[in-house]
Chain A
Amino acid sequence: MKKLRILLVGIIKENPVLVLILGTCPTLAISTQASNAIGMGLAATAVLVCSNIAISALRKVIPDNVRIPCYIVLIAGFVTLVEMVVKAYAPALDKSLGIYLPLIVVNCIILGRAEMFANKNTVVDSALDGIGMGLGFTLALFVMAAIREILGNGTFYGMEIPFLINHNISIMTLAPGGFFVYGCMIAAINKLSKGKAIKKTEFGCMGCPSAAACGKLSETKCGKESEA
């Protein structure tokens, strides 16, 4: 039962995008089309699962002082692998993801989960956490991309929607629409959970992997949150 909980917690209760507010950059940039969102989500999930497994397997080998550089090397290695696979087998996806594919390296979700979960838990638990978080990321990305694609393009997954195709709001697929839809989705989660889901009212850097290292900023809010 505990294993199932680890898997499910990432999908809904601690959704990395909507509740933990991690990995905002790819979320906003890629969510213009549902198909891109699925591709990005799966690529990030693959990296997340691999890096979580590797990091939790090596958690007793890696010295604590140099753990962040070690994690970055591991993650960058997996990202390069995924990049090569996508380039070879899905060139169209590679083209539409563009710069955001190599940028999975600096996606806070991956380093964040390494720091928050994988270096404290067993390999199996970390793998499940990676799958859960990855699916949560994919799901949030997909919902957001669907909203933006339906309203902005009048299509869903490339299929035309009868009425909306002639009445599209094209700003939804542009940058401002991304910010707006994301803001509204977090507000909706806030409303539905009556503020329970997002306890922190300010944008916390709890998930930020460098929170411990960032001196003055951690003295105020982040320091307390990352300890808790």
Chain B
Amino acid sequence: MEGIIHLDFKGIIILLMSAVFVNNYVLQKFLGICSFLGVSKKLDQATGMSLAVIFVMMLSTAVTWPIQYYLLNPHGLGYLQTIVFILVIAALVQLVEIVLKKYIPALHSAMGIYLPLITTNCAVLAVTILNVDKQYDFLASMVNALGSGLGYFLAMVMFSGVRSRMESEETPKAFEGLPILLVAASIVSVSFFGFAGVIENLFG
């Protein structure tokens, strides 16, 4: 358990805030773009997908962190990280789906359809690998997962608002569909630059 970074309370808050605003997974790190462009058409879909992502991110961090530090590292198997993590995430998502279907059908009908999509969502795998790369302790990893999920949520909800406005407008023929979405995403992404200085100065 060497080399793990422990953060104090202030550090945790900064980590959370910068995960949501400054290092936004979708708009600054380009993770989870497929679902960002695909599922952000309606607000309720965007919300359902984001909640599922937050849940799976935290759950998979809670499972993969102990696996890395108590199972892989002590046995010198750190290089198996990618294989083990993707399988654990895929299995977890399946498990959650089965459990939800059996015991909480209402939640399953709201969130269940997005779960299979999440297995191949790069944001989830990225958050688990980054937590290990950056050597966060367990608490910081969970906070980072929560922050990243919330950042995804924020980006999705904002973008679905932008999209609903765009739908009634006419766009040049060549830009119809995906291209104009990307241009809009670029402008939304610019707006996140404003947060960079704020978080640093607020807590720094």
Interface positions of A (Cβ within 8 A of B): 21, 24-26, 28-29, 69, 72-73, 76-77, 79-80, 83-84, 99, 102-103, 105-108, 111, 171, 174-180, 182-184, 186-188, 190-191, 195, 198, 200-203, 205, 208-210, 213-217
A184 neighbours in B (Cβ, 8 Å): 179, 183
- Number of B residues whose C-beta is below 8 Å from A? 52
Partner-binding segment picked from B2-10, B23-31, B57-65, B66-74: B23-31
Asked if A183 and B182 make an inter-chain contact with CB atoms under 8 angstroms apart, the answer reads: yes
Chain A to chain B: the 4 pairs with minimum beta-carbon distance, closest first = A183-B182, A179-B186, A187-B179, A191-B174
Asked if A205 and B87 make an inter-chain contact with CB atoms under 8 angstroms apart, the answer reads: no
The main secondary structure of chain B at its interface with chain A is helix
Known interface pairs A203-B37, A210-B116; A179-B82 also in contact (CB < 8 Å) = no
Residue of B34, B79, B82, B189 touching A25 (CB-CB under 8 A):
B34
Asked if A99 and B178 make an inter-chain contact with CB atoms under 8 angstroms apart, the answer reads: no
How distant is the Cα of A73 from the Cα of B112 in the complex, in angstroms?
Answer: 24
Asked if B174 and A80 make an inter-chain contact with CB atoms under 8 angstroms apart, the answer reads: no
How distant is the Cα of A79 from the Cα of B192 in the complex, in angstroms?
Answer: 32
Query: How far is the CB of B157 from the nearest CB of chain A, in Å?
Result: 18
B81 neighbours in A (Cβ, 8 Å): 102
How distant is the Cα of A210 from the Cα of B27 in the complex, in angstroms?
Answer: 23
A203 neighbours in B (Cβ, 8 Å): 37-38, 177-178, 181
Asked if A80 and B83 make an inter-chain contact with CB atoms under 8 angstroms apart, the answer reads: yes
What are 22 A-B pairs with beta-carbon distances under 8 A? A25-B32, A25-B122, A72-B87, A76-B87, A80-B80, A106-B86, A106-B125, A107-B122, A175-B30, A175-B192, A176-B189, A176-B190, A180-B183, A182-B182, A183-B178, A183-B186, A190-B173, A190-B174, A190-B175, A198-B177, A201-B177, A203-B37
B113 at the interface (CB under 8 A from A): yes
Beyond the given pairs A180-B182, A208-B117, 8 more chain A to chain B contacts, judged by CB atoms under 8 angstroms and listed by A's residue number, are A25-B32, A73-B87, A76-B83, A76-B87, A111-B120, A176-B190, A184-B179, A203-B37
Asked if A209 and B120 make an inter-chain contact with CB atoms under 8 angstroms apart, the answer reads: yes
How distant is the Cα of A11 from the Cα of B180 in the complex, in angstroms?
Answer: 24
How distant is the Cα of A105 from the Cα of B88 in the complex, in angstroms?
Answer: 14
Interface positions of B (Cβ within 8 A of A): 27-34, 37-39, 79-83, 86-87, 90, 112-114, 116-117, 119-122, 125-126, 129-130, 133, 172-183, 185-187, 189-190, 192-193
